[in-house]
Structure 1
């Protein structure tokens, strides 16, 4: 009995101890979840939005308004993005470049900082 319970308890501890360890999802398999990770190559950039291609599909990644933070990515650059898919684009929380540099866009909890009072009203 103890031999069966130990592996289950070990897995439960690992899952709760590593909240950032989220499996990477292929773009074609995206569903509406917060904290999802996608990786790929930047194909086209318009302002702070860019098209990310992982070989299974492409998606528009929204990194917030340019006046809040400029992301300065380059076409052809490989990045990993943590964020949330919202049915037509992928809202970025954090972008990691292939050299390890992290671009923090926003926290996943609550409205984005650029929402102002609109975000506060929507929480009530």
Structure 2
């Protein structure tokens, strides 16, 4: 009976350790395009400067035009980006908005704007933040 209990505790502990050891998500960045050439209902990346901030939305300007970026719950409070900051936003462009999925700051720090995943991994996203490793096209392997 004691041996069966030890095996059960070991299985539960192993499953818990496996859940906590979830690797970060890797995202391949798209080549940025100009705002003037954005096509409706497309997945795009845009690089520019933050012109204005409105709560969980901000305006990005790349010289060819300006676009309103929706950041969802991750941007609530207006602390996600700073006015004048240069960054790359990757997401979906439709209905006149760029619905951001990923922000890459000038220092290379990447932040996911997607909601947490369902299930145990989503619980870890909510507890520890959703970590993302951005892989730049043409970058050497790590």
Query: 2:61–2:67: 8 Å Cα contact kept in structure 1?
Result: yes
Could you tell me whether the CA contact under 8 Å between 1:69 and 1:105 is conserved in 2?
A: no
Query: Which residue of 2 is the match for residue 15 of structure 1?
Result: none
2: CA distance, partners of 1:51 / 1:67: 13
Q: Which residue of 2 aligns with 1:91?
A: 99
When Rg is computed on C-alpha atoms for both structures, the one with the higher figure is 2
Shift in Å, 1:65: 3.0
- Can you list the C-alpha shifts for 1:69-113, whole angstroms capped at 9, x where unaligned? 865211000010010101311000000100111111117xxxxx9
Q: CA RMSD in A?
A: 2.5
Count of aligned residue pairs for this structure pair: 89
The two structures have a TM-score, normalised by structure 1, of 0.63
Structure 2 counterpart of 1:57, from 52, 56, 65: 65
Structure 2: unaligned runs, 5 residues or longer:
1-26, 116-121, 123-142
Match of 1:102 among 102, 110, 121: 110
Give 5+ residue unaligned stretches, structure 1. 1-18, 108-112, 114-124
Q: Which residues of 2 match residues 1-124 of structure 1 at below 5 A?
A: 20=28, 22-31=30-39, 32-34=41-43, 36-65=44-73, 71-106=79-114
Higher relative contact order (CA 8 A, sep 6+): 2
Q: Distance in 1 between matches of 2:53 and 2:76?
A: 17
